[in-house]
Amino acid sequence: MKKIRTRFAPSPTGRMHVGNLRTALYAYLIAKHEGGDFILRVEDTDQERFVEGALDIIYRTMEKTGLIHDEGPDKDKGYGPYVQSERNAQGLYLKYAKQLVEQGDAYYCFCDKERLNSLRTSVSEDGTDIVVYDKHCLGLSKEEVEANLAAGKPWVIRLNIPREGTTTFHDEIYGDITVPNNELDDMILIKSDGFPTYNFANVIDDHLMEITHVVRGNEYLASAPKYNRLYEAFGWEIPVYVHCPLITDENHKKLSKRCGHASYEDLIEQGFVSEAVVNYVALLGWCPTDNREIFSLEELVEAFDYTHMSKSPAVFDTVKLKWMNGEYLKAMDFDRFYEMARPYIEEVVTRDCDTKKIAALVKTRIEILPDIREQIDFFEAVPEYDVAMYTHKKMKTDPQKALEVLKELLPILENQGNFSNDALFETLKAFAGEKGYKIGYVMWPIRTAVSGKQNTPGGATEIMEVLGKEESLKRIRAGVEKLSEQA
């Protein structure tokens, strides 16, 4: 069997859209699942869409996500160059276009904008407007063409698609698709600026780079029959097509920049972890037979099977992604978590306290890193709170009982030398035992006094350990004062 070769062919136009990341991931997985090669090709023939610095974003994103290419602009294994503008500079695309002109499968077209705009729009069976070029310039004689070229008239080269009959192509996900040829435009192969169109360059490059499986978004599905006409005109083998389903936002609209989380970098900035994003994106259009959800990249390589891809649109569900991210944070090695969490902690807590301990408290209690902020704000200062917060039915306590407990506890805590979580817990447990109190009856008032919050990461003693003796006592005294005023 031929070695599988897939490619990721981004255009350097900005941040990496989630759809592109998924295309890259699936192309990577299809190759790696079979021990094949994954190739990076830069498609920069649309000079108007080129964005400075976008190439760096592509490299960086692929490195961070672990989608390491075997070949690409920085790793030429004999199929290069891997950047289309460089390939064009070698005259490669024009050479192939001219070959088609020679064969009668393509032709020079000199029509200007005005003429093209005046072409009648016809309506296809499904009601959509389609404009197909009327082959006007196909009628030019060889001499007329030569004369126009010599006179420096602007030209393009178009594919010559027969008007009669149909074209059928096979896609692994969408099955066999047949279209009437009269709906296929004589698409431009070489533009008036001398650059090839994507439609032409992708076929030439996929063939020359011996790509076996073409993985891309389903926006290219409609053009696939035209690509087949090109393969046939050259007599080249047609690759396996794998078109990935559309990704939509929660409102079932195409996922776009507007929703604010459409690119890999957006998600990282919002506090998502790279591995979780990759894992989540893998499930946008593919589902393993056992419905398992958590996969490392290596596990995806093992499990991924494109025959289980779906053709229905995949909804990008941020709630699910957040859940998944939380799972990754929980399972993460502590040192790595701390490194990521620290800036968020230091942004909120400027007092001198052990940020590592705070990180340990929040690690299993957040979904995305920015959740840290509102979880730990009380370490900096106790927020305004109502004494009603001391009431807890299950713990059988209320402001009055809380005041009693805190007053009793103050001298004990003042005498406590060791302010570690364990030592404090032992002291409080002993105190509760002596008094015949339930442990919650003691802990609830303290936690409320030291945090001013109903929900905190960690219990009373864990919080006191982080705050230290002085600050903890200060807060408990303030609690006593507050409760006394209200009593």
Q: Does 40 bind ligand GLU (CB under 6 A)?
A: no
CA distance 376 to 451: 9
- Compare residues 213 and 447 and give the one whose CB is closer to ligand GLU: 213
Rounded to the nearest angstrom, the gap between the alpha carbon of residue 84 and the centroid of all alpha carbons in its chain is 25
Residue 175, Ramachandran bin (φ over 0: left; ψ between -120 and 50: alpha; else beta):
left
Which span sits near ligand GLU by CB under 6 A: 8-16, 424-432, 436-444, 461-469? 8-16
- Compare residues 21 and 366 and give the one whose CB is closer to ligand GLU: 21
Q: How many CB atoms lie within 10 A of CB 318?
A: 18
In the list 4, 5, 6, 10, the residue contacting ligand GLU (rule: CB under 6 A) is 10
Q: Does 105 bind ligand GLU (CB under 6 A)?
A: no
In the list 5, 6, 11, 361, the residue contacting ligand GLU (rule: CB under 6 A) is 11
- Compare residues 140 and 222 and give the one whose CB is closer to ligand GLU: 222
Residue 294 to residues 299, 312, 327: CA-CA distances in angstroms?
9, 22, 9
Please, what is the minimum distance in Å from the beta carbon of residue 280 to ligand GLU?
21
Q: Does 427 bind ligand GLU (CB under 6 A)?
A: no
- What the block records as the tokens of 344 is 């968020």
Among residues 8, 4, 5, the alpha carbon closest in space to that of 202 is found at 8
Q: To which H or E segment does residue 450 belong? A: helix 439-451
CA distance 481 to 474: 11
Question: If DSSP codes are grouped into helix, strand and coil, which group holds residue 137?
Answer: helix
Please, what is the minimum distance in Å from the beta carbon of residue 220 to ligand GLU?
6
Which span sits near ligand GLU by CB under 6 A: 7-15, 145-153, 332-340, 462-470? 7-15
- Compare residues 84 and 416 and give the one whose CB is closer to ligand GLU: 84
Q: Which of 95, 257, 320, 435 is catalytic?
A: 257
Phi, psi dihedrals of residue 243, rounded to the nearest 5°: -95, 130
User: Which ranges of 173-223 would DSSP assign to H, the alpha helix?
Assistant: 198-208
- What the block records as the tokens of 87 is 């390939």
Site string for ligand GLU, 205-244 (x = CB under 6 A): -----------x---x------------------------
Rounded to the nearest angstrom, the gap between the alpha carbon of residue 121 and the centroid of all alpha carbons in its chain is 38
Nearest residue to ligand GLU, scored by beta-carbon proximity? 216
Q: Does 9 bind ligand GLU (CB under 6 A)?
A: yes
CA distance 45 to 188: 13
Q: To which H or E segment does residue 159 belong? A: strand 156-159
Q: Does 37 bind ligand GLU (CB under 6 A)?
A: no
Question: Restricting to residues 167-206, which ones interact with ligand GLU according to CB under 6 A?
Answer: 198, 202
257: annotated active-site residue: yes
CA distance 276 to 115: 52
- Compare residues 10 and 399 and give the one whose CB is closer to ligand GLU: 10
The answer to whether 325 touches 368, Cβ cutoff 8 Å, is yes
Please, what is the minimum distance in Å from the beta carbon of residue 133 to ligand GLU?
23
Q: What is the bridge-based pairing of β-strands 166-171 and 129-130?
A: unpaired
Please tell me the count of residues contacting ligand GLU according to CB under 6 A.
Answer: 8
Which span sits near ligand GLU by CB under 6 A: 3-11, 238-246, 311-319, 451-459? 3-11
Q: Does 363 bind ligand GLU (CB under 6 A)?
A: no
- Compare residues 11 and 448 and give the one whose CB is closer to ligand GLU: 11
Q: To which H or E segment does residue 22 belong? A: helix 18-33
Which span sits near ligand GLU by CB under 6 A: 9-17, 271-279, 286-294, 339-347? 9-17
- What the block records as the tokens of 337 is 């978590």
In the list 22, 29, 39, 43, the residue contacting ligand GLU (rule: CB under 6 A) is 43
Please, what is the minimum distance in Å from the beta carbon of residue 84 to ligand GLU?
9
Rounded to the nearest angstrom, the gap between the alpha carbon of residue 313 and the centroid of all alpha carbons in its chain is 16
Report the sign of the C-alpha dihedral through residues 201, 203, 208, 214, in that order: positive
The answer to whether 115 touches 137, Cβ cutoff 8 Å, is no
Please, what is the minimum distance in Å from the beta carbon of residue 176 to ligand GLU?
20
Q: Which residues bind ligand GLU (CB under 6 A)?
A: 9-11, 43, 198, 202, 216, 220
Return the active site residues: 257
